[in-house]
Chain A
Amino acid sequence: MKTRRFITVLLAALLLLAFVPAFRAQAQTTTITYFTFSAAPDHLKDLDLMIADFKKANAGIDVKVQTAPFADYFTLLQTDLNGGAGPDVFELNYENFVTYAAKNVLLDLSSQTAQDKTWDAKAYYGRALEIFQQKGKQYGLPESFSTVVLLYNKALFDAAKIDYPKADWTWQDAIAAAKKLTDKSKGVWGLYSPVQFYEFFKKAAQGDCKFFNDAQTESLLNSPECVTVLNTMLSFTKEGVMPTPADLGGVKDDELFKSGKLAMWVNGIWQFSAMKDAPFAWDIQLEPGITRKAHHFFANAVAVNANSKNAQAAYTWARFFTSSPAAAKTRVAASWELPALTDKTLVADYLKVTPPANRQAVFDALNSVIPIPVIERQSEMQDKVTAALDKAVSGEFTPQQALEQAKKDVDALLKK
């Protein structure tokens, strides 16, 4: 009897011992979740590479990735964050940053950066770091930025024997060239820059049309300058150089460009990898302006959940992902937008890849960037402005009427 009891105890002890290393290992690994929209489906492998590099440098932290398509991302994020739960680190674009900062779910990173001996604010592109601050506190770390430029089909320009677009072009110059390039019998169009929210506020900046007054209590969309801007945008289809949606017949603008049927295309630098194999020579230029130049500044950031139980590990990942040389190199090599860093060697790498040859234009564009006009009720504002613009496009409203409507709607949203 005694021996049996002894053996049982011994066995139990041995079993426990077998588990102890497992317990210890478990206690050592912190797992954080990272929710992203930009990684899937094209860059999951790149993200995995970055995570592998991260784990090498930070033993004991594991990163679990959750992805969602952009269209669903913010809905899912909202439900995730309900009740103080949600991913430890998540991606935000600038438009939504303001909304989420207002919800008090973003961790103030100032205390983390203060403790971080490797923290160097200058490693980040100043503008990018700034826009993810509120009241002097850092709520997000800029992950990447991108901008919108003018892509043009060199072959079409050569065939029409006109000069390539220049950096100082205005829209009148562009329309003139587009007229010579449009050949409806061949289904070739000169220009594509649609009337929609993002294009509108950028052209507004080009034409001195202000979205809000300085205090952001009132919208100034019905000013004469804004009407001029809208008229300029509408003139593209009126002059017959830009296809209407009906003309396109369901074909998307990127397909139109790739099939060689579009001479000038206003779109983002993220198209570079998609257009890599286009069967014709193409290049980029600064976007034409009205009274001045203005370019988009789209930036994504990663933020740490204010309710995260692993704030330290989460911050470490966020820091690595946004500013480590390893991650940045992977990003540039994969054409996964541009890291928001000031490291000149990265820029050099980026400039080397072609097409397009004139990648310098991307950085030149940064001299004339305007951020997105953002308010707390952002989605509603974008939808309302778009609806008003649609009415101008369809002819249901005159540009003046459409902008009056837009102003009224936006003013209503500004009241809280």
Chain B
Amino acid sequence: MYLAGERRWRKTGWVLLFLAPSLAGLILFTLGPILASLGLTLFQWDLIRPLEFVGLDNFREIFASGEFWSALSHTLYFVIGYIPLVMLLALGVALLLNQRVRGLALYRTAFFIPVVSSWVVISLLGKWAFNPRYGLVNYALGLVGVQGPNWLFSSRWAMPAIILTSVWKDIGFVMVMFLAGLQSIPHEYREASALDGAQAWNHFRWITLPLLSPTTFFALIISLIASFQVFDQVWIMSETGTKSATTVLVQQIVQNAFSYGRMGTAAALSWVLFAFIFAITLVQLRLQRRWVAYD
């Protein structure tokens, strides 16, 4: 009987049926353009005049420019500030919400409203909230006797403001993933959550966390990939004076492609960025075997 099942597994026809729509779209609308942009890295093009072959000049130019390295450092600053904050806070909230809370739907909705809003809306809101004079944040800080900094107008506090806004927006997103993961954990494991202190921690550490690991892995990878590509909120929230403290890599790409008409440079920059993201994801995938528990 098992043999019959095995043969089923391998029937290529079935694979194609399930895979084809998605793969076809991927190849045509994503992979194709991506390969085109890979080719573009060896040229310079403004979309109108003919392509001009420049070989590896684009890459040489990028690595020699101060802007690239500062954009890279700003991007890394964002990633390192954002990822731990959003993952830990989201996990914490998910754990809280998983306690058979009454009104779960309401709480979850509260956390999710920032998630469904567009980055444009959230960035504008953030820009306004972090306004040193009229904004909510400094007003709230003032209520507890703290003088808030100049946030987006200060080279030191501009990126933190952007990070905080991003965390605020995305907490619900990651939390929902954790919550779905927690709630897929079979019922009998969850009963034990009513235990007291020490046992609860052990239960969390040795049962919940491992069972949650596929979700954690997914959330971590998606968040890492997305945070390296941060753009919208930085672009909208940065103020003229502090732009040099916050410009990120995708911003550089967009500038070169859309403002300067240097598509070759833009393509080269995106492939450098891709290399970073790829390396990090590879590391994650390798580590996956160590800490992610699949069935």
* A residues adjacent to B (C-beta < 8 A): 74-75, 78-79, 81-82, 99, 103-105, 196, 244-246, 249-251, 377, 379-380, 383, 386-387, 390-391, 393-394
Contact = CB atoms under 8 A, between A and B. Distances in A.
Q: Which of B128, B154, B155, B258 has the most CB of A within 10 A?
A: B258
A249 B150 CA distance: 9
B46 to A, nearest CB: 7
Interface of B: 46-49, 127-128, 131-135, 150, 153-155, 239-241, 243-244, 255, 258-261
Contact of A75 (B132, B155, B240, B259): B259
The 7 nearest A-B residue pairs measured at CB: A249-B133, A246-B153, A75-B258, A82-B47, A250-B131, A103-B48, A379-B259
Nearest to B245: A394
B260 A390 contact: no
A250 B133 contact: yes
A19 to B, nearest CB: 38
A394 B260 contact: no
Given A78-B258, A81-B48, 15 more contacts: A75-B259, A78-B261, A79-B47, A81-B47, A103-B46, A104-B48, A246-B153, A246-B154, A249-B133, A250-B128, A250-B133, A383-B255, A386-B240, A390-B240, A394-B155
Interface of chain A, main secondary structure: helix
A56 B133 CA distance: 55
A75 B255 CA distance: 10
Nearest to B247: A387
B44 to A, nearest CB: 11
Contacts of B259: 74-75, 379-380, 383
- Interface of B, secondary structure class, is loop
Contacts of B241: 244-245, 390, 393-394
A139 to B, nearest CB: 15
A387 B245 CA distance: 11
Contact of A245 (B134, B135, B240): B240
21 contacts: A78-B46, A78-B47, A78-B48, A78-B261, A82-B47, A99-B261, A105-B48, A196-B240, A244-B153, A246-B150, A249-B132, A249-B134, A250-B127, A250-B133, A250-B134, A251-B133, A251-B134, A383-B255, A383-B259, A390-B241, A393-B241
Contacts of B150: 246
A79 B257 CA distance: 11
Nearest to B241: A245
Contacts of B134: 249-251
Contacts of A249: 131-134
A148 B258 CA distance: 28
Given A249-B133, A250-B128, A393-B241, A379 B49 contact: no
B48 A390 contact: no
In the complex, which of the residues B48, B128, B131 has the most CB atoms of chain A within 10 Å of its own CB atom? Answer: B48
Nearest to A394: B241
B244 A104 contact: no
Nearest to A99: B261
B243 A387 contact: yes
B260 A246 contact: no
Contact of B239 (A75, A79, A99, A245): A245
Contacts of B240: 196, 245, 386, 390
Contacts of A250: 127-128, 131, 133-135
A245 B131 CA distance: 11
B132 A377 contact: no
Contacts of B133: 249-251
Contacts of B132: 246, 249
Contacts of B46: 78, 103
Nearest to A377: B260
Contacts of A387: 243-244
A82 B128 CA distance: 39
A196 B239 CA distance: 13
A386 B243 CA distance: 10
A251 B127 CA distance: 11
B138 to A, nearest CB: 10
A172 B242 CA distance: 29
A408 B145 CA distance: 47
Contacts of A390: 240-241, 243-244
Contacts of A74: 259
Contacts of A104: 48-49
B234 to A, nearest CB: 16
A393 B244 CA distance: 12
Contact of B49 (A103, A383, A386): A103
A365 B231 CA distance: 41
Contacts of A394: 155, 241
Nearest to A194: B240
Contacts of B261: 78, 99, 379
